[in-house]
A and B are shown apart, each in its own frame.
Chain A
Amino acid sequence: MAIFNLTINDQRYKIEAEEDMPLLWAIRDLVGLKGTKYGCGIAQCGACTVHLDGQPVRSCSLPLGVIKKKQKITTIEGIGSPQLLHAVQEAWVEEQVPQCGYCQSGQIMSAVALLAQHPEPSDDQIDTYMNGNLCRCGTYDRIRKAIHRASGSAKPKTMGTH
């Protein structure tokens, strides 16, 4: 067992765990933030995506032992607040993206990072960047639209018509 001082969503957490425990389980079971999800455990589905110093990482495959003291971790709970959603979250609501919603924390964390890197991403850039995030419910088309909407580059179709 070792002691880790983690900075998650600008809060400091002191936890005791094994060095090989993936960040995902520390976040979920030790810190108690359940928004970050387990889907595969082998960096294949993206459900566990969080930011490490702003970069998206698969927390299921990141052992606590490799995280440096100064590094900042951001989870889905840390990008907006209940009162004020992040622009990406807002776009997700506008496009009514989630179905079951289980993959969406990871999708949103990837999308936030994508938009930080490419403020007005092309469809190809979206495809490349978001390809590691599975959605079994099949919300990809809406995710694409929501990313365009959040980037401001979109001319979103009117909602509520068919």
Chain B
Amino acid sequence: MSISSLSTERRRFLKQSLLGTAGLMIGVRAHAGGHALVKLFENNISTELNPFVLIDAKGVITLVNSRPDMGQGSIQAVTSLIAEELEVRMDQIQIVHSDGQAKYGSQGSGGSSTVRGLWFDLRKAGAAAKEMLVRTAAGRWNTSPESCQARDGGVFLTGTDKKFSYGELAVDAAKLDVPKNPKLKDPKDFKILGKYHKRSDIPSKVNGTAVFGIDVVVPGMLYATVIHAPSVQGKLVSYDATQAMAVAGVKQVIKTEHSYPGGKSEAIAVIAENYWAALKASKLVTAQWDDGDLVQTLNTGQYFKDAYAAAAKPGVRAEEDGDFDAFFAASEKKLESIYETPFLAHAAIEPVNATAHVKEDGSVEVWAPIQGPDGALGETADYLGIATDKIKIHPQLLGGSFGRKAFMDFMKEAIDLSRQVKAPVKLIWSREEDMMQGPFRPAMLSRMRGVIGNNRLSALSHQAIGESIQGQHWNGLADYQADDWLAGELSKENHKYGFPVHHLSYSRVKTPIPILWWRSVYASNFAWGQECFIDEMAHKAGLDPLAARKQLLRNSKRDLAILEKLEEIIKSSPALPTGHARGIAMFRSFESMSAAMVEIARKDKGARIVKVTSIIDCGQYVNPDNVKAQTEGNIAMGLSSAIKGGITFSEGKCDQTNYHQFQVMRMSEMPEVEVHIMDNLENPGGVGEPGLPPIAPALGNAIFNLTQKRIYKLPVDLDNLV
């Protein structure tokens, strides 16, 4: 959102705007004991200074959060950016979620983009509104704006006790032109940004009042669950719902349509008065599916066979600096290794769900835990073939997502079911459906090759091998193309390791196993190969892995500073007890560099993780405590991805049905954690994902340092290392 578009928006929306529909727009409002979710009623008429700032005559200041919150803290982050420049305190505001309309700009939470993408635009939105309020006050006092000061939601006449609250100024302020280049604050004057602030959504998340997608109640709604083809793409031949229909509370058993990446298949839905009845009945439906050759092809064994075969052939070139192959062939001291990462489920504790109401008049409302209301609006319009002004999207809190809920197959199912049964429908996938249908983090291989020169690492080749997300979802990748998401992450421009000779290639391995972005996307796969291999090369060169990285990054000051910080941490820690070892790794994703150090200790035939120390350089940030929280979460999820079993497919279906088979980290496995943030005034980078990629390779490198045995394949069985 640029300021000029704010100006157009202002004209289009005139001075008054209507907020929400009766009782259904949920916001966060400050009250004595903190913040609570509130309902904003239809007659709440506020003056819109711009789409993100609404002020009513009583002075209630409403800021719009345009990025759905799945736990990453966007409710606080987005509104902090506005509030800082608007000069209002966080306890003076109430917050509503944007509904997907274009005036809010791009509204997808994903790619760790919220703060780094909105850092200037949202501050400008706050600053522009403040300037308009100040100019209005100055006009009333017949003085210059310079003689006025905005703070705490009011404009003060300097040197007097005269004051107008924002509420008293808003209507007149909205008549002014929106300043094109409002002055932004000097970071040294920040009161909110970069400072510790408690998150206003937390009280509601400890007393059960926070409303997640799964909790939404719409009058007259029915509950539904869906049975998909276990083979994801299988065709529905027939089904028998006689027993299911006999379950008390069951209304209907009907067909619906499931969108998987790149296609559609039929599914069966049970509609009932309560969710339990639907769930119970769904287990009594017998269905025949025609799986075609999926029994053979939907198979992780087959996928890895194809992937290792691809590793034996050159990939599509993505980047080349010098002639790596010639150099490798001519060199004596060289290394080659293949690293493997598994398929993984997102496994957010809230299963995917959506509530939809396709009404008789053709309008539609959707309440769902989705990562982007703009995407949801567009997809709903496309799906039903109707105009977006007939659709109201109500984004809800997400009970975790990690990328999954940005793929909105479940939302379309809820819409289809509501359309068929002519009532509001809440669809909740069972955990089993959620786990077995994916889509999953893809399994990948990294074929690494390297040349060691005189006391230095001279050449690196990374061949990335596996299915492409873009290719599978949008058929958007020709055979001669490298997946550019992946190429971006592994590029020399990204890792900044100064190898004189560098080569990057990609080999696509097609599979019907459905895949999707997963926290940190491909970085979660390829950091494993890249960073374990840098250690391998360092050991072969007789160099300390940290020193080797310092040498490679000698021209990258910010990255060097991280390594120096790591050295400092190591130096000031007590000496490692015998039977303990450390490993390090670093990886840049979403414009933030994160380094990790994992300490492990021998335990019986294996090892236990003692401590993980992470350092993140994300430039400027909103709330240091949230940067830490996200990094802690990335440590847990990164370890989970390294030491817990992955997702496998055999005989045309997913082998893991629930958390007893797809294990994720539990309390007793959580090591001590320590997070350091690099403080600087650089532009913000991502925070929600960058902490994850270095965790697994730091563990792999620690295992090598403990056992002298190199682990190539994840997950690793930490209990059995010898």
Contact = CB atoms under 8 A, between A and B. Distances in A.
Contact of B667 (A22, A36, A140): A140
A10 B175 CA distance: 55
Given A102-B349, A108-B206, A144-B667, A41 B280 contact: no
A89 B397 contact: no
A140 B58 CA distance: 42
A85 B207 CA distance: 8
Interface in A27-50: 28-30, 32-42, 44-45, 47
A119 to B, nearest CB: 19
Nearest to B273: A29
A101 B207 contact: no
B205 A101 contact: yes
Contact of B348 (A82, A100, A126): A100
A96 interface: yes
B198 A93 contact: yes
A120 B513 CA distance: 48
Given A80-B207, A159-B196, A29 B276 contact: yes
> What's the interface size class on B, roughly?
35 or more
B208 A83 contact: no
B203 A99 contact: no
A85 to B, nearest CB: 7
A134 B664 contact: yes
A98 B211 contact: no
A140 B211 CA distance: 22
A143 B636 CA distance: 13
Contact of A105 (B70, B208, B401): B208
Of B209, B628, B635, B666, the most chain A CB neighbours within 10 A belong to B666
B660 interface: yes
A151 interface: no
Interface in B201-225: 201-212, 214-215, 217, 223
Contact of A96 (B195, B348, B400, B629): B629
B695 to A, nearest CB: 11
Contacts of A89: 206-207
B636 A140 contact: yes
Contact of A141 (B206, B276, B634, B672): B672
B211 A136 contact: no
B676 interface: yes
B665 interface: yes
B670 A141 contact: yes
Contacts of A75: 208
Contacts of B471: none
Nearest to B660: A44
Contacts of B201: 101
Nearest to A22: B276
A136 B347 contact: yes
B202 A93 contact: yes
A34 B71 contact: no
B624 interface: yes
A53 interface: no
